[in-house]
Structure 1
Amino acid sequence: MAMFLFQTSIRWTACWLEVLTVSVLIGTCLFVIYVPSDVVSPSLAALALSYALNMTGIFQYTLRFWLETEAKFTSVERIQGYVNGLASEAPPIIEGRQPNSDWPEEGAITFENVDVRYREGLPLVLKSISLDIKSEEKIGIVGRTGSVLFVGTVRYNLDPFNSYTDEEIWSALEKCHMKQTVLELEGQLDALVVENGENFSVGERQLLCMSRALLRHSKILVLDEATAAIDTETDSLVQETIKEAFSDCTMLTIAHRLNTVANCDRILVLHDGQIVEFDTPANLLANEMSTFSQMLRLQNLKLKKVRRTQRR
């Protein structure tokens, strides 16, 4: 669209240049006709007409070239702004402040009056969050209201810094039930992964991301809608992988499908960016007036309506 507007503006400028140069040519002709011959000789009149004709082409070409050059140099100006005027982010590893390779050792998490917004100027999405999460505890996070793969190979997505051997990568894939799937790919670990992992199903993307976390021996794992858009069979496979492969991890599971957090040690219920409940599933369900109980009943009611509609 921008290029179309640019080309049309150039064409519009060319039309007005034609009008201007034709006006100059007409003025020259009138000058030659009406000025007495004893003032302007025939040879000088012919020279004036010849130069007026040539000037139309030269004038148009020069002005259009200048306009296009000025417009195209906007890109150069912006590149210069990115090179010289844009603050660079911090390096991946800050010298002298690199943690030990086994950090964190336990996986305990403490939030103390944490406020979070998506960017400066936007309203807070989390407000004054304070809570303690013990090591290896499984926390479900729900509220009223994906996994990312990068262009490259399977190996690059699992181990972008080439820190692990093939045996370690295959072991992680096997524990996450993805070994057979990768073995069937052309190139196996060197198989191509397209933008956003579109050549894998949603469930396979989740399992590959879990393989990446398992390969790094992460002590803290955050799952954001890990089973939101997958079928029941894949959902069971993901839940089994979480239970077996990450049993010694501290886990935060963010979900709107409440059945995915029913087996967590504690459930954190958020509303309007604030904590409204934080307790075990049994205690929350025992209280019929709790927000979690009400959300669960509402979800079950919607599910029954969907099933009733499908039967019809």
Structure 2
Amino acid sequence: MDIIGPVRGSMAMAFAQSLTGTLQWTVRSIVAAETLFSSVSRIKDYIELIEQEPPAINPNNRPPEDWPQEGKVKFNGVCARYKGDEKLALKNLDITILPKEKIGIVGRTGAGKSTILLVFFRLMEIESGNITIDDIDISKIGLSDLRSKIGIVPQEPILFFDTLKENLDPLEDFDDESLMKVLTLVGLEKKFNLDDMVGGGAALSVGE
């Protein structure tokens, strides 16, 4: 029977502990690498499978700077469907909205009321037909040119945790005088200042 001396025994124990730590580190590294590669694989799938948005600007077809002047909107035989659905959400929709005209769209759940808004902002592309604003086909122009000219007031208003000014004019397109005129028009000029923090709207009523 071979007997190992205390020196060699101590060295063997030290190397064994070191080897155990190395194996643990190797296993952790392999697991971490596998997790990271899973993320890379998903990113690759998104890049290859998700349809890209149309360009923000179409240099070959830009609307006039003062477009739209009147605001006449026409839906001409518009058909649209959601991905994966066989049934059309909008089928041969024909609507003409005259300048300054106010309309109401009513219908049961799933009738396509929200879809009209989606195709109008081109958050959803139509299958056939066209939509025009002042006789310009909105599918032919860039998304930025379209969306910068139209606006939406949601049922549940969303405010940022910032000043009233930043919420009214996040892109800084208007001066303070113009913004105060807006507050005056809605009767809030005495209650709020442009530098007031709105806190995401927690202290405001829905009407305000």
- What is the TM-score with the length of structure 2 in the denominator? 0.57
Matched, 1:202 2:206: yes
Give SS of 1:189's match. Answer: coil
Higher helix share: 1
What value does the CA root-mean-square deviation take over the aligned residues? Answer: 3.5
The answer for the alignment partner of 2:195 in structure 1 is: 190
Counterpart AA for 2:59: E
Counterpart AA for 2:68: P
Distance in 2 between residues matched to 1:91 and 1:156, nearest whole Å: 27
Out of 62, 83, 96, which is 1:120 matched to? 83
The answer for the alignment partner of 1:55 in structure 2 is: 19
Give SS of 1:57's match. Answer: helix
Out of 158, 174, 183, which is 1:149 matched to? 158
Deviation, 1:97, is 3.3
Identify unmatched segments of 5+ residues in structure 2: 110-154
Deviation, 1:141, is 1.6
The answer for the alignment partner of 1:102 in structure 2 is: 66
Which structure 1 residue ranges, 4+ long, deviate > 6 Å from structure 2? none
**1:193-225, Cα deviation, whole Å (9 max, x unpaired):** 445x44432222xxxxxxxxxxxxxxxxxxxxx
Out of 31, 42, 45, which is 2:4 matched to? 42
CA distance change for structure 1 residues 144 and 67 in 2, over 3 Å: closer, same or farther? closer
Identify unmatched segments of 5+ residues in structure 1: 1-35, 183-187, 205-312
Distance in 2 between residues matched to 1:82 and 1:176, nearest whole Å: 48
Deviation, 1:88, is 5.3
Give SS of 2:190's match. Answer: helix
Contact 2:157 2:206 in 1 (8 A): no
CA distance change for structure 1 residues 129 and 149 in 2, over 3 Å: closer, same or farther? same
Contact 2:159 2:198 in 1 (8 A): yes
The answer for the alignment partner of 1:236 in structure 2 is: none
Greater Rg, structure 1 or structure 2? 1
Deviation, 1:68, is 3.2
- What is the TM-score with the length of structure 1 in the denominator? 0.41
Give SS of 1:190's match. Answer: coil
Deviation, 1:130, is 0.9
Contact 1:149 1:157 in 2 (8 A): no
> How many residues of Structure 1 are paired with residues of Structure 2 in the alignment?
158
